[in-house]
Chain A
Amino acid sequence: MSAAHDDHHHGPAKGLSRWFYTTNHKDIGSLYLWFSFAMFLLGGTFAMVIRAELFQPGLQLVEPSFFNQMTTMHGLIMVFGAVMPAFVGLANWLIPMMIGAPDMALPRLNNWSFWLLPFAFLMLTSTLFMDAGAPNFGWTFYAPLSTTYAPETVTFFIFAVHIMGASSIMGSINIIATILNMRAPGMTLMKMPLFVWTWLITAYLLIAVMPVLAGVVTMMLFDVHFGTSFFSAAGGGDPILFQHVFWFFGHPEVYIMILPGFGIVSAIIPTFARKRLFGYDSMVYATASIAFLSFIVWAHHMFTVGMPIAGELFFMYATMLIAVPTGVKVFNWVATMFRGSMTFETPMLFAIAFVVLFTMGGFTGLMLAITPADFQYHDTYFVVAHFHYVLVPGSIFSIMAAAYYWLPKWTGHMYDERLGKLHFWMSFIGVNVLFFPQHFLGLAGMPRRVPDYALQFADFNWISSIGGFLFGASQLILLVVVIKCIKGGKKATAQVWEGAQGLEWTLESPAPYHTFTTPPDPKLIHDQ
């Protein structure tokens, strides 16, 4: 803190305007994380409506059209409002501290990236209060459901997606510029923590595919309002084209939602196993391979549209190939834990659950990749179970693990370990009771996105809903833990965790408002 002559150096501005005008990466990180948590609760509320309606066969609570709005809004809010902003928030908080940089490369752009989001989601959720109702065509918004047959509010949806896309692209540019240009002396690329590596690759994926998403909604806008026929067969277009363009975005998108999680787990497991991460280099290459493969597998989402056999085989094998780098990662995590001196604090519990349950989600993904089998599984609850296993105990557990792991560094206090463990076990049991029976429902033929179902599916839906309510309610514990931890608790040391490695743990807790205004001592930067 030698630059004491700088009068902006004392700390954050006072009052509410601090949050509007801030360019500080820690403030913006907190804003992203709080926003994401709010969206998580909102999207979760929609999920509760869905599970409540599916609690019993028959139509009890909501109209089918409103049910469709709920599934659509749940998906959109969770993907674009909860998971992605949470990872961007973690990137903001952690990347500068991990690479020894004073802030993000473009602090003002950073402020703008964040403040676009609340308006995008305000616009999206405001459609719920309009006469035409919210978008009801599913989060994948397939044409012509989202064009010819869409409610009028589709235009709000399109502009909301444009704004979210702009926010993500600017955020990614910022992250790449920070990682490539702001590393402290001695922080070579192959010494960067894996969270930084995975985010670097994720940011490139975002720059590659978010514009394609913006393009596809722009085409929709033109089809809906300006008489073009990109996706309308009557005018010479093709609705299947929509699916190709959408999934060209959509498949890299699902890796965007998991790669930073890989980075988080690769930080947490070595800490609590008290061993170095096994196979750092292979982790980096595996992440890059997954990112590359994500561009050539999109059509496995649409095996049933009628593709030539050569196409189906190509997409089947390319998809299965992804299991190889993913397997490398899983084995590396297990090898890191092998013969380690493990302790099971809350972040470690979430990280281990991530490894086990994400792998299960990965295996069901392999089942879905088998083209002939997919003709049976397509659009059933088996798919719902698969992607919820990789997204909830996958992405979201990794975000929660990160929250518990770095919370002492952010707040300066230890969180309540007892409540943390309670949160973990309730979430762990809840998520499995919620999603595991959905595999059986799917294999037995229950289709996705239905408000009512045949009587034979009643028992498993009942169990699934109970799990859903348990999982939903237990997330309020996280809110309590975080607020308690901000208000007080045992003082956290700089090191926080005995086995933690990395530059952020050389800073005092809570991390000062401005860190690494002078680069860290290169001796603090260790080989991975």
Chain B
Amino acid sequence: MKNQSPTSSTKRLVRKLFLAAVGMFGFGFALVPMYDVICDITGLNGKTSGRYTVAEAEPMVVSDREITVQFMAQNGAGMAWEFHPNDTQVKVHPGEVRIVSYRAKNPTDAVMIGQAIPSVAPNEAAQYFKKLECFCFAEQKLEPGEEVDMAIRFFVDENIPEKITKLTLSYSLFDVTDSSKSAQEVTAR
């Protein structure tokens, strides 16, 4: 065959198709924030949202309803800390602000940094669980043998659907000593 160069319409088409492929590569990455937004709206993955800042009015307490909130703790793979909730279960009225705490102990000989990741079951309850204060908002650094109580201040949103009478908050504690921002600080010692 003769060495024909592609016609200009072929070139245009190929350029468009190539751009489409590049665009879809970008779309793959765009799925990451999209997923976070969808999870935020629907509570798809049981993730709770970040710090709740109280609006002008205090949340209204609905005293004729009672929600059971259960607390669980588990360690991520290879995490050596002792980690458990101080209260396994509390009953709250929607809108009522409560404080509970978890206890963590670093039994090792090294300074370690932990990060707790919350998850709420059932997933659709996640968006109604509001945290005013939580140890999961920051990394926790424990000296060798150090033991602390870590608090959560929360309330359950009054709009929580009637059918939900019980929800479970579970924390997974991960060892982030190596990847943490303050890791250099730790190794410097």
Nearest Cβ on chain A to B29's Cβ, whole angstroms: 6
B70 interface residue (CB < 8 Å to A): no
Stretch of A37-45, A127-135, A202-210, A481-489 on the interface side: A202-210
- B174's contact among A105, A234, A517, by CB below 8 Å, is which? A234
- With A173-B17, A248-B31 as contacts: A211 and B22 at CB distance below 8 Å: yes
Chain B residues with Cβ below 8 Å from A244 are 31, 35
B28 touches A245 (CB 8 A): yes
Find the residue from A24, A211, A236 having the highest chain B CB count within 10 A. Answer: A211
- With A177-B17, A233-B174, A308-B123 as contacts: A212 and B24 at CB distance below 8 Å: yes
- A-B CB contacts (within 8 Å), total count: 115
Stretch of B43-51, B80-88, B97-105 on the interface side: B43-51
A169 touches B21 (CB 8 A): yes
B23-56: CB near A (< 8 Å → 1, else 0) gives 1111111011001000100111111000000000
Interface residues on chain B, number (Cβ under 8 Å): 41
CA of A169 to CA of B39 in the docked complex: distance in angstroms? 31
Nearest Cβ on chain B to A271's Cβ, whole angstroms: 30
B124 interface residue (CB < 8 Å to A): yes
B45 touches A102 (CB 8 A): no
- With A241-B32, A308-B44 as contacts: A173 and B21 at CB distance below 8 Å: yes
Chain B residues with Cβ below 8 Å from A177 are 6, 10, 13-14, 17
CA of A229 to CA of B76 in the docked complex: distance in angstroms? 15
CA of A211 to CA of B25 in the docked complex: distance in angstroms? 4
B25 touches A215 (CB 8 A): yes
- With A102-B1, A177-B14 as contacts: A210 and B28 at CB distance below 8 Å: no
Chain A residues with Cβ below 8 Å from B76 are 233-234
B159 interface residue (CB < 8 Å to A): no
A214 touches B25 (CB 8 A): yes
CA of A105 to CA of B10 in the docked complex: distance in angstroms? 7
- Can you list the 7 inter-chain pairs with the closest CB atoms, starting with the nearest? A215-B28, A234-B174, A211-B25, A211-B24, A212-B28, A173-B17, A181-B10
13 more contacts with CB within 8 A, not counting A105-B10, A209-B24, A306-B46, are A106-B10, A169-B21, A172-B17, A176-B13, A177-B13, A181-B7, A207-B24, A210-B24, A211-B22, A212-B25, A227-B179, A233-B172, A238-B45
27 A/B residue pairs, CB under 8 Å, sorted by A:
A6-B2, A8-B1, A23-B1, A103-B1, A105-B10, A107-B1, A148-B77, A169-B21, A173-B17, A173-B21, A176-B17, A208-B20, A211-B21, A211-B24, A211-B25, A214-B28, A234-B115, A234-B176, A235-B176, A235-B179, A236-B117, A238-B45, A244-B31, A245-B31, A245-B32, A306-B46, A311-B42
